[in-house]
Amino acid sequence: MAVGQPDLASLGFVNDTVRMRSWHNSLKHAKIAEPTIQMYLKNVAQFLAYVTETPPPICRLSCVVMVGLNREMRSLIRSVRRRVVVHEVAVKQAKEGHLIAKATLRQCVASAKSAIPEILARLKVTGDRKAQWSFYGHLTAYLACIYGHRGGVFQNMTIGEVEAAQQAAMDGCYVINISSHKTNQAFGAAQLALGEEEYGWLAEFLAMRKELVGGSNAHYFFFTSKPSSYKSLNQYFQEAWAGMDLPGTPNFTDLRTSIATHAKNTHSPGDRHKVARFMCHDPSTADRFYALNLDAKQAAEQRSLFEADVEGEDAPPGDPEEPRHLLRAKGGPKENP
């Protein structure tokens, strides 16, 4: 909106609702995803709210103009809400189309557990980088199939965080707290609880890291020759997945979605909440948008509830079998003290 406009410091160019709508339409024609368009609109709305509350000294937009601009932006945001919900439902359905069976997850855990000690033994002898990548892929596959963490959790896991778990170990349980990840502001550190054998794999790898390329000055557990976190873990995870003869080519998000879905269908609400918290996942957002996105078995169960609604005879008003709390609400008979 500022292109070709004079005196930008006065913010006068913002006072053009026609160009606002034109910009919004250009985003739609550019085939940008609806949630992204909504995010852009909200960013502009936040900027307008800031200018309204604390206008710069040289701003030439009156209070009346700012009210109108804020109202226009809220109208644009409302116009995309329906499309955002439809988009999110479609994304959820696509994700559930890649749902990984429980048996496959168990097979991955068992196969990776068997392969990791052999890979570490080969890596110790040869120092081969292919063996190192294979260790990365099998270990992240093993942990992701248990906890459903995002790939970023593994990318950002530091050597210091792994070593700190040994100092705070209790009863053979080693808890690794990974502070840097996508939802750390909402959930705090992401955690991995490992047993003696599992933590032993990590300790064995760290013991040989100085002999590996980039290991001497490494900060992250999954290190390379560069000091930054490793961005190709998903590639080596998928190679390990294929090497274990498992079906499909899932990514970390597919594993996370599958574990969250199995938790929803298996656990009580209380246990599901515990699982979700540990994997830094907020089930309320999914439930809000995808509550009606049921599988065939769940939909059949819902149908039986609807059919039960119309069974039997109609109950007359004030029927004795009507719950007492409803009768009292209607001013009906009350219980004797």
Written as tens digits, the pLDDT of the chain (337 aa) is 777 777 778 888 888 888 889 988 899 889 888 889 999 999 999 999 999 999 888 888 899 999 999 999 999 999 888 888 787 777 766 666 668 889 999 999 999 999 999 999 999 999 999 999 999 999 999 999 999 898 999 999 999 999 999 988 888 899 999 998 888 777 888 889 999 999 999 999 999 999 999 888 899 999 988 878 888 899 999 999 999 999 999 999 889 888 888 887 787 778 777 777 777 777 665 555 444 455 566 667 767 767 676 677 766 665 545 554 544 555 555 544 4
Whole-model pTM? 0.66
Quick one: 19 and 158 in the same domain?
no
Flag whether 268 is in a domain.
yes
Q: Are residues 111 and 75 in the same domain?
A: no
Establish if 303 belongs to a structural domain. Answer: no
> Tokens representing 306?
């609807």
Residue 261: predicted pLDDT: 81
Q: Are residues 75 and 43 in the same domain?
A: yes
CATH number, domain of 130, equals 1.10.443
Q: What share of the chain in percent tops pLDDT 90?
A: 42
Instruction: Identify whether 300 is part of a domain.
Output: no
CA-based max dimension of the chain: 86
**Is residue 46 domain-shared with residue 111, that is, in the same domain?**
no
Quote the number of domains for the chain.
Answer: 2
Of 63, 96, 129, the residue at which a domain comes to its end is 96
Residue 212 lies in a domain: yes
pLDDT tens profile 191-222? 899 999 999 999 999 999 999 998 888 999 99
**H or E element in which residue 178 lies:** strand 174-178
* Residue 169 located in a structural domain: yes
Q: What is the pLDDT of residue 7?
A: 77
Q: How far apart are CA 24 and CA 44, in angstroms?
A: 11
Same domain, 73 and 146: no
Two tokens, residue 30: 């550019």
165, 196: one domain: yes
Convert 195-213 to b/e letters by CB count within 10 Å (16 or more is b): eeebbebbebbeeebeebe
Backbone angles phi, psi at 187, to 5 degrees: -120, -5
- Is residue 113 a part of any domain in this protein? yes
Pair 156, 239 in one domain: yes
Q: Which of 149, 146, 155, 116 is nearest to 132 (CA)?
A: 116
Domain for residue 203, yes or no? yes
Given 55, 73, 96, which residue is the final one in a domain? 96
What range defines the domain where residue 59 resides?
Answer: 8-96
Q: Are residues 136 and 171 in the same domain?
A: yes
pLDDT value of residue 316: 67
Asked whether residue 337 is domain-assigned, the answer is no
Distance CA 89, CA 323 (A): 37
The pLDDT score that the predictor gives to residue 299 is 65
> Which tokens hold the place of 46?
């936040």
State whether 204 and 83 are in the same domain.
no
Same domain, 261 and 169: yes
Q: Answer for the pair 38, 88: CB distance below 8 angstroms, yes or no.
A: no
Give dist(CA 132, CA 119) in Å, integer. 8
Note the pLDDT tens digit of each residue in 69-128.
Answer: 999 999 999 988 888 878 777 776 666 666 888 999 999 999 999 999 999 999 999 999
pLDDT at 233: 92
72/209 same-domain check: no
Where is the domain boundary, 282, 301, 324? 282
Statement to judge: residues 233 and 252 lie in one domain: yes
| pLDDT given at position 291 | 41
